[in-house]
Amino acid sequence: MTVEWGWFPDHADQMARLTADHLATAVPAVLLGLLIALPLAVLAHRVRPLRGFILGASNILYTIPSLAFFVLLLPVTGLTRTTAIVGLTAYTLVVLVRNTVEGLDAVPVKAREASKAMGTKPLRTLLTVELPLALPVIMAGIRVATVMSISLVSVASYIGYGGLGQLFTDGFQRNFPTPVIAGVALTLLLALVADALLVTVQWLCTPWRRGTPRQRTSLWRKAA
Amino acid sequence: MLELLKNLLSWLTSPAQWSGPEGIAARVLEHLEYSVLATLAAAVIALPIGLLIGHTGRGAFLAVNLSSFGRALPTVGLVTLVFLAGGLSVWPVYVSLVALAVPVIITNTYAGMAAVDPEVKDAAKGVGLRGRQVLWQVELPLALPLIMTGVRLATVQVVATATIAAYVSFGGLGRYVFDGLAQRDLVQVLGGAALVAVLAVAADLALGGLTRLLFRGRPATAR
């Protein structure tokens, strides 16, 4: 397999456009997923009878293949970017919901009780005590969801919104490996950069955890 | 919408659709063949590596980062690349599916091993067990539930992704999806997609049942 290095500078514009396209599908999917997952997870955490149902439902969404997802949505949303975003959103839910519930579960009871004892209302306790303490585990979920979404966007190239995935189709049809290599490399790079950005955000958001590198391993374990 | 569902139902239930080498039954079998072989191959590769990393504690960095890399690697790109490099054979399908499953199994196996209480390991050593005995008699049994979770996750992903076989002109349930897309036959596309989804859920439930059977009567150490 020979790589034509000259292809890269010639197609810099196309690669930049497709990368922007890629992000325009992946980023809204994760944000939308977060918007749906947070209330669901709080509900699953607070109302025990609903817990099994919410976790089970998000698990089932995950077992539906991404390609099938896009296709199943076609009659509803048509050949639009919405189809790709909604499909990816459904995919992020399993990780986001599960990690948020786990994060909330891991908040020390004493912290919650102390907040209650000080007369803080439940919603305020959630926003100022529970969610910040659960943040590391939630962020681990967001990182996984982001990397997964970035990788899965290429599947949406079958419906024309695959971002860098267009390069795979292009290379495949012309029997020309160079764009495929570019597509794979850029997807990996994008995922890596996004992950590094999220780590930085987490570091900035959780000043109380700094200087304890050993905790990082437990965070990773949650992500697995 | 209702019309579409009706057509889909008649597509799925017509006897002619189920028989013959192009029929649903044959496609399901092909799909299962790709999925089962790929998952088994991945398990054979990943389990020893995961156990070794977990037991020795060396290469933990590799194990945790591998999962990120595995999730980021676009399967469609990989299958295309191996196909362009190696030509028309079933190899690209297996390479991509195995590459998808290996990181998941390694990471979960490692996570299971790492979650074993160090005091339990010390106790095992204290009563005179050697390194290998600790691995087989203490660590592995305790880590098994999480290892099974990894195998289960990997299986679901492989079944869901085996549609790529059709992308490089092989069979399986992806055939209906890709042919349907090419022919603008939405009913066929939906039928194929629904079948894959059902197969993935069924595989998940089957492995879940198997896990429960294996660990019946055991206290829940880890999920």
For the segment A191-220, what is each residue's pLDDT rounded down to a tens digit?
A: 999 999 999 999 898 888 776 555 554 444
Q: Are the Cβ atoms of B71 and A71 closer than 8 angstroms?
A: no
Chain A: closest CA distance from residue B17 (Å): 20
Q: Give the single-character DSSP code of A64.
A: S
pLDDT of the residue at A222: 47
For the segment B81-118, what is each residue's pLDDT rounded down to a tens digit?
A: 999 988 888 899 999 999 999 999 998 899 889 888 88
Q: Which residues of chain A are within 8 Å of residue B174 when distances are taken between CB atoms?
A: 67
ipTM surpasses 0.85:
no
Provide DSSP, A81-121: HHHHHHHHHHHHHHHHHHHHHHHHHTS-HHHHHHHHHTT--
pLDDT at A11 over 80: yes
The architecture (CATH level 2) of B23-211 comes to Orthogonal Bundle (1.10)
Q: Which residues of chain A are within 8 Å of residue B80 when distances are taken between CB atoms?
A: 168, 171-172, 180
Chain A: closest CA distance from residue B181 (Å): 8
Q: Are the Cβ atoms of B77 and A66 closer than 8 angstroms?
A: no
Q: Between residues 29 and 58 of chain A, which touch chain B (CB distance below 8 Å)? A: none
Residue B222 pLDDT grade (very low, low, confident, very high; cuts 50, 70, 90): very low
The residue of chain A with its CA nearest to that of B179 is: A158
Nearest by CB: B74 against A144, A154, A158: A154
Kindly list the domain boundaries of chain B, sorted by start residue.
23-211
For the segment A134-171, what is each residue's pLDDT rounded down to a tens digit?
A: 998 999 999 999 999 999 999 888 788 889 999 998 89
- Its pTM stands at 0.84
CA distance B146 to B166: 32
Q: Number of A:B CB contacts under 8 A?
A: 135
Q: Quick check: B114 contacting A, CB < 8 Å?
A: yes
Q: Are the Cβ atoms of A224 and B197 closer than 8 angstroms?
A: no
